[in-house]
């Protein structure tokens, strides 16, 4: 059992440098929590504060109802895995995995049994007699994870453990880590700058920027209901398209008119969203956000009943990526490149035009100043 709570936690390195500011989070037992955000946003700092490797300058850290700000790392009972896996080079794989139990004077027989069990889970049982030098990057990483999971700590803390692996191994290890989380049945707090890792691994994602939490939610909610433009643009690949638009209330409808010179391109908001935007932003400029998969060709838009909501949105294809199951077309609008994911049957070539239809029920509208998602739904 472990419940970890951070209350208004701050880490100030010196008068100018903050690691994290006013960090509030509840981590429940057995959650797979991901800290994600661009480099330098404070992910490692927060993890190190939880581990006790950095001192909290303000706020409180509670572990199982106990204030732990000043507890020594070893008393916190957390197990860490870093990006640069710290293996002892002159010990075998067996020795490395067994180490933490050995220093705790666990009986040999029990150590042996545990090492074999862990090695089996990680599929490194045939490597137990090797030294780290004779292992590949992926194998070393597994050994490092093995060394961490041999104990049953209150939580595992992992800092970008996969970032030194190549893309294929990383994908494989993602699957392994999910299985491992199920088998270990323990809290994992995991740091990554990779949004795919965050989306696939986490049961709860904490998106960070400049030392501040932006949003805490499930992967699905982060994706479907981002709180601001930063979160919206950070998750998803290709990322969400952002188009500056002028709001214009027509008789029954609320139009978003692309802020570009040339022929008019406009899309209509629907339902309650139309009312919210009309009320607050009529005559003003906003940022429309639409994901590449929420843009369609005519036939599909008609089948979905939203073909009337896009008028004159015709774009010239600048790049075409055939991915087998889908084709991604890129077009330039307002000096930025945007993406649409269409059926692979689409034959539009580079230089040709394609008419596009937006599923406006899935669109987002961001305030141009605050970058807040005006259509954000609380508690969803
Ligand atoms: N020991 C330190 N002294 C001063 N600033 C630091 C120190 N450690 C980290 N920082 C700063 O704190 C911020 C967050 O760093 P970090 O937590 O390592 O980010 P992340 O892991 O998200 O890349 C960065 O701006 C970094 O430069
Ligand atoms: Mg880091």
Residue 212 has pLDDT above 80, yes or no: yes
pLDDT of residue 380: 61
Q: Is the CB of 43 under 6 A from ligand 1?
A: yes
Q: Is the CB of 42 under 6 A from ligand 1?
A: yes
Least confident of 66-75, 118-127, 161-170, 353-362: 161-170
Omega into 246 within 30° of 0, i.e. cis? Answer: no
Residue 373 lies in a domain: no
pLDDT of residue 1: 64
Question: Is there a contact between 290 and 363 (Cβ–Cβ < 8 Å)?
Answer: yes
Task: Give the CA radius of gyration of the chain.
Answer: 25
φ, ψ (nearest 5 deg) of residue 8: 50, 40
- Domain boundary (215, 234, 253) is at 234
State which ligand 1 atom lies nearest to the alpha carbon of 42. 17
Residue 379 lies in a domain: no
Residue to substitute in 17, 39, 57 for testing ligand 1 pocket (most ligand atoms within 8 angstroms of CB): 17
Q: Is the CB of 40 under 6 A from ligand 1?
A: yes
We report the CATH number of the domain holding residue 226 as: 3.40.50.300
d(CA 118, CA 152): 12
260 shares a domain with 208? no
pLDDT of residue 81: 87
Cα separations in angstroms, 93 against 8, 74, 142, 181, 309? 41, 23, 10, 22, 61
Residue to substitute in 12, 15, 20, 45 for testing ligand 1 pocket (most ligand atoms within 8 angstroms of CB): 45
Please provide the average confidence, as pLDDT, over all residues in the chain. Answer: 94
Residue 218 has pLDDT above 70, yes or no: yes
pLDDT grade for 9, boundaries at 50, 70 and 90: very high
46 shares a domain with 160? yes
Residue 172 has pLDDT above 90, yes or no: no
Residue 280 lies in a domain: yes
Distance 37 CA to ligand 1 centre (A): 13
pLDDT of residue 368: 98
pLDDT of residue 220: 96
Give 378 or 302, the one with higher predicted confidence: 302
What residues make up the domain containing 36?
A: 4-234
284 shares a domain with 194? no
d(CA 197, CA 158): 13
212 shares a domain with 280? no
Q: Is the CB of 348 under 6 A from ligand 1?
A: no
**Cβ-proximal residues to 171 (8 Å cutoff; 6+ apart), any chain:** none
Distance 227 CA to ligand 1 centre (A): 25
pLDDT of residue 318: 98
For the segment 14-55, what is each residue's pLDDT rounded down to a tens digit? 988 999 999 999 999 999 999 999 999 999 999 999 999 999
Which residue has a Cα nearest atom 13 of ligand 1? 19
Which residue has a Cα nearest atom 26 of ligand 1? 40
Q: Is the CB of 202 under 6 A from ligand 1?
A: no
d(CA 46, CA 9): 9
pLDDT of residue 84: 74
Residue 380 lies in a domain: no
Residue 152 has pLDDT above 90, yes or no: no
Residue 161 lies in a domain: yes
Distance 332 CA to ligand 1 centre (A): 36
C-alpha angle 344-257-284 in degrees, rounded to nearest 5: 135
Residue to substitute in 36, 42, 47, 157 for testing ligand 1 pocket (most ligand atoms within 8 angstroms of CB): 42
Average pLDDT over residues 293-316: 97
pLDDT of residue 160: 93
pLDDT of residue 327: 97
289 shares a domain with 147? no
Share of the chain above pLDDT 90, in %: 81
State which ligand 1 atom lies nearest to the alpha carbon of 48. 17
- Domain boundary (189, 210, 234) is at 234
For the segment 50-105, what is each residue's pLDDT rounded down to a tens digit? 999 999 999 999 999 999 999 999 899 999 888 777 799 999 999 999 999 999 99
φ, ψ (nearest 5 deg) of residue 331: -140, 155
Residue 183 has pLDDT above 90, yes or no: no
């Amino acid at each position: 059992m472990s419940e970890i709570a951070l209350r208004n936690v701050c880490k100030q390195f010196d008068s100018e440098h903050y690691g994290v500011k006013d960090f509030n989070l509840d981590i429940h037992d057995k959650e797979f929590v991901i800290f994600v955000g661009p480099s330098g946003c404070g992910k490692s700092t927060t993890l190190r504060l939880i581990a006790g490797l950095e001192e909290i300058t303000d706020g409180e850290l509670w572990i199982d109802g106990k204030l732990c700000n000043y507890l020594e790392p070893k008393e916190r009972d957390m197990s860490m895995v870093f990006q640069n896996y710290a293996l002892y080079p002159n010990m075998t794989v067996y020795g490395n995995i067994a180490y933490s139990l050995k220093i705790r004077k666990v009986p040999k027989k029990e150590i042996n049994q545990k090492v074999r069990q862990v090695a089996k889970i990680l599929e490194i049982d045939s490597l137990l007699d090797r030294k780290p030098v004779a292992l590949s990057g992926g194998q070393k990483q597994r050994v490092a994870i093995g060394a961490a999971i041999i104990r049953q700590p209150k939580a595992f803390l992992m800092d970008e453990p996969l970032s030194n692996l190549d893309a294929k191994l990383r994908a494989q290890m993602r699957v392994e880590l999910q299985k491992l989380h199920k088998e270990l049945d323990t809290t994992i707090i995991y740091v990554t700058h990779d949004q795919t890792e965050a989306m696939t691994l986490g049961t709860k994602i904490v998106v960070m920027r400049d030392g501040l939490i932006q949003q805490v939610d499930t992967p699905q909610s982060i994706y479907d209901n981002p709180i601001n433009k930063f979160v919206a643009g950070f998750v998803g690949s290709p990322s969400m398209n952002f188009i500056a638009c002028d709001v214009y209330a027509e008789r029954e409808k609320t139009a978003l008119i692309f802020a570009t010179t040339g022929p008019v391109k406009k899309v209509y908001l629907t339902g309650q969203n139309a009312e919210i935007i009309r009320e607050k932003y009529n005559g003003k400029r906003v940022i429309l956000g639409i994901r590449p998969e929420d843009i369609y060709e005519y036939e599909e838009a008609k089948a979905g009943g939203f073909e009337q909501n896009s008028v004159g949105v015709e774009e010239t294809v600048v790049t075409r990526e055939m991915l087998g199951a889908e084709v991604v077309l890129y077009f330039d609008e307002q000096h930025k490149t945007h993406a649409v994911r269409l059926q692979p049957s689409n034959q539009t070539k580079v230089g040709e035009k394609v008419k596009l239809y937006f599923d406006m029920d899935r669109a987002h509208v961001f305030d141009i100043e605050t970058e807040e998602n005006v259509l954000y739904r609380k508690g969803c």
